Amino acid sequence: MINFGLMFLDIQPEVENALAQSKPVVALESTIIAHGMPYPQNVETAIKVENTIREHGAIPASIAILDGRLKAGLSPEQINLLGKAGSDVPKVSRRDLPYIVAEKKHGATTVASTMIIAEQAGIKLFATGGIGGVHRGAEVTMDISADLEELAKTNVAVVSAGAKAILDLGLTLEYLETKGVPVLGFNTDELPAFYSRSSGLKLVHNIKTPEAIAQVLNAKWKLGLDGGVLIANPIPQEFEIEYEAVNQAVDQAIMDANALGIKGKEITPYLLNRIKELTSGKSLDANIKLVLNNAKLAAEIACAYADIV
């Protein structure tokens, strides 16, 4: 079947050459650039993440939408454009892609839309901070991230520090199980809680090496089992924030958001920024460290996976 989506896709030459030669490539989202941090820290972090991937043997492919074109791989100038524009660049998930492409607009990709574009480009590994999931109070609001549905059907492995701490982590894990998404703990038997190494939620699979994770990915897709894999990589111990302290900040941030009537796609950026204020900037520092840690592991898995396929 012809993939007409490729008509809208531009693959950066370095990324295209690496894919053509079956070399390791790691995708990166752009919401973290436009919405995750203030300028210029967002741009500096994005470049550091790309450099970390290179240092560990893989090619980075930051993903975004520019003038309606899906981009797999960004130049430093394009990263700076997104970082400087910040929240003026729309946050784009699966539902938003047709409009942004048709209207030839810029877009910052979420986990879901990054997975879609990565799969179209032929990229199997993706490093991010934390995935979206089931929001607290979802039994009333039905606020469940499209990231979970994408993990259920798109053949890309996502390395993250678990799900974002603002979420209901237990329900998020249950949802992933229902959808048949393998959740692999990297040297952990608990789901990381983003800023914290432990959530108290047990994982079935504790994998010790990048090479072993690559073997699981290879087996899954060769078995014809469509969908992604979540690789849960705890934040390094020296950078974590104590779980109870994070929960207190999250509870306060949610109360503040409810009082202001903030909902939908605006809720996550608001909560992350409010938590940064409540933790005196510690959450932002932890966020940067965990993203770099995830980029390192994703590059190592991508190299191992390239060796066996």
Catalytic residue among 164, 276, 282, 296: 164
- Determine the Cα–Cα distance for residues 256 and 244; give it in Å rounded to an integer: 18
- Determine the Cα–Cα distance for residues 196 and 202; give it in Å rounded to an integer: 15
**220 noted as active-site residue:** no
Q: 63 near 28, Cβ under 8 Å? A: yes
In the chain, alpha helices (H): 13-20, 31-34, 41-55, 76-85, 97-102, 111-121, 138-141, 146-153, 169-178, 210-222, 243-260, 267-278, 282-308
Residue 67 CB contacts under 8 Å (≥ 6 apart), including other chains: 104, 105, 106
- Determine the Cα–Cα distance for residues 91 and 293; give it in Å rounded to an integer: 24
Q: 61 near 118, Cβ under 8 Å? A: yes
Catalytic residue among 29, 119, 150, 240: 29
**29 noted as active-site residue:** yes
Instruction: State phi, psi for 170 to the nearest 5 degrees.
Output: -65, -45
Measured between alpha carbons, how far apart are the two ends of the chain, in Å? Answer: 23
State the catalytic residues.
29, 164
